[in-house]
Amino acid sequence: MEQYIIKGGNPLVGEVEIGGAKNAALPILAAAVMTDETVIIENMPDVRDTNVLIQAMESIGVIVERVDRHTVKINASQIHTLVIEDDFIKKIRASYYLLGALLGKYKRAEVSLPGGCNIGSRPIDQHIKGFKALGAEVEISHGLIRTEAKKLVANHIYLDVVSVGATINVMMAAVMAEGKTTIENAAKEPHVVDLANFLNSMGANIKGAGTDVIRIKGVEKLHKTEYAIIPDQIEAGTFMFAAAVTKGDVTVKNVIPKHLESISAKLLEIGCEIEESDDAVRVVAAKPLTHTHVKTLPYPGFPTDMQPQIAVALGLSQGTSIVTESIFENRFKYVDELTRMGANIKVEGNTAIIDGVPKYTGASITVPDLRAGAALVMAALAAEGYSTMDDIRYIERGYEDFPQKLQNLGAQIAKVTAEKDIQKFKLKIV
């Protein structure tokens, strides 16, 4: 079984290059099937989620060529089925973006219904509401969601909750609908804007992405494009908080500092220094960290995908902090593991009350989900002694070369597959 072995205690120091945003790459990959012409996508992260979505696309006849590690060429002129099989959706929920993309292009799609997830129940009622508003019929049976329309006609759609996924799926379905669609209460995340820019570069007419009202004028068809994905806000934020918890000095490069504002603001509040330039942010943690309160919110609020990382930092901050999770109901599952490393955290409903401790101690940890996994690695890097981390496949869903990037910053971490590798790692360190 693959594991990380980590010896904590080294401050992270140096520079790290941030890759393309996973959560932008997934809808952009799906949207690339909406033209029969060849689309080139650059800055594609090489992570498990994007690779599984590419496999799902290949399974329906999309031709995907890797030009290099981070560039793919996609041609969807040979699609032979509009059914996405169970296997793929089980591995990644974002396969459901093919629902909006295929419905938009072929007026029909059939995808296994995404199942539950480690961070709580994840309904898709708003996606369905949007498809129906555009004139599609939607039927759920035998674990499949089928959607079909004679033709798609624009409409005024108000989303009851701010949902990244629903905004994206409805946007794709509306791009070639007849007339002008308005999506109100839309999500404003950078990846929503990136998808809109990508679709516009293919000939779509989308305005207002990044605000809560998106207006889409239907076009007849989309054409080829060459497009580079934005940098990953959450990967960048993870390394910024890793600098804080290890009392380090890290410059995250190839980022859009504007996307990191809520993260930088919290780091400043807890006592870090932040230096921003055009495409980099430096985090220096020279002073002891102090407590703060944080509530996760849709963008531009503090991202739920950074909640475990900030909690790990607050666990080592002087005083009492309160973390409120307002997006997903079950996102504190990592707290038990962190407690085993010495953290003092009490969870009540959607709130975690954190009393800072002076240090964590290494432990053998099971990773519960993607972002919590990255956060627990950070805790292990700050901890006294050795930690091992199981179920690292969750981390690999969204972080490219995570151990290597951390090693380059001075972390003592290795990916191992056998007990003898752990011994070798320990001998090398001593």
Q: Give catalytic residues, as residue numbers.
A: 117
Instruction: Please tell me whether residue 166 binds ligand UD1 under the rule CB under 6 A.
Output: yes
What single-letter DSSP state applies at residue 258?
A: G
Give min distance, CB of 145 to ligand UD1, in A: 12
CB within 8 Å of 333: residues ≥ 6 apart: 118, 119, 368, 369, 372
The residue range among 59-67, 133-141, 156-164, 415-423 that interacts with ligand UD1, by the rule CB under 6 A, is 156-164
Binding ligand UD1 by CB under 6 A: which of 26, 41, 72, 392?
A: 26
The residue range among 9-17, 132-140, 160-168, 402-410 that interacts with ligand UD1, by the rule CB under 6 A, is 160-168
Instruction: Please tell me whether residue 184 binds ligand UD1 under the rule CB under 6 A.
Output: no
Instruction: Please tell me whether residue 23 binds ligand UD1 under the rule CB under 6 A.
Output: yes
259 phi and psi angles, rounded to 5 deg: -70, -15
Give min distance, CB of 116 to ligand UD1, in A: 11
CA dist 36 and 78 (Å) reads: 8
The residue range among 64-72, 120-128, 172-180, 332-340 that interacts with ligand UD1, by the rule CB under 6 A, is 120-128
CA dist 334 and 373 (Å) reads: 8
What single-letter DSSP state applies at residue 230?
A: P
Instruction: Please tell me whether residue 70 binds ligand UD1 under the rule CB under 6 A.
Output: no
Give min distance, CB of 126 to ligand UD1, in A: 3
Instruction: Please tell me whether residue 284 binds ligand UD1 under the rule CB under 6 A.
Output: no
Instruction: Please tell me whether residue 126 binds ligand UD1 under the rule CB under 6 A.
Output: yes
Instruction: Please tell me whether residue 127 binds ligand UD1 under the rule CB under 6 A.
Output: yes
CA dist 106 and 101 (Å) reads: 8
Instruction: Please tell me whether residue 163 binds ligand UD1 under the rule CB under 6 A.
Output: yes
Torsion of Cα atoms, 367 then 399 then 344 then 410, to 10° = 110
Instruction: Please tell me whether residue 56 binds ligand UD1 under the rule CB under 6 A.
Output: no
Q: Between 234 and 411, whose beta carbon lies closer to ligand UD1?
A: 234
- Look at phi and psi of residue 356 and say left if phi exceeds 0, alpha if psi is from -120 to 50, else beta: beta
Structure tokens at 27: 């809808």
Q: Which of 147, 228, 233 is nearest to 190 (CA)?
A: 233
Structure tokens at 333: 């599952």
The residue range among 77-85, 99-107, 118-126, 173-181 that interacts with ligand UD1, by the rule CB under 6 A, is 118-126
What single-letter DSSP state applies at residue 420?
A: H
The whole-angstrom distance between residue 420's C-alpha and the CA centroid of its chain comes to: 34
Neighbours of 356 (CB within 10 A): 20
Instruction: Please tell me whether residue 304 binds ligand UD1 under the rule CB under 6 A.
Output: yes
Nearest to ligand UD1 by Cβ — which residue? 165
Footprint of ligand UD1 (CB under 6 A): 23, 26, 94, 122-127, 161, 163-166, 187, 304-305, 327-328
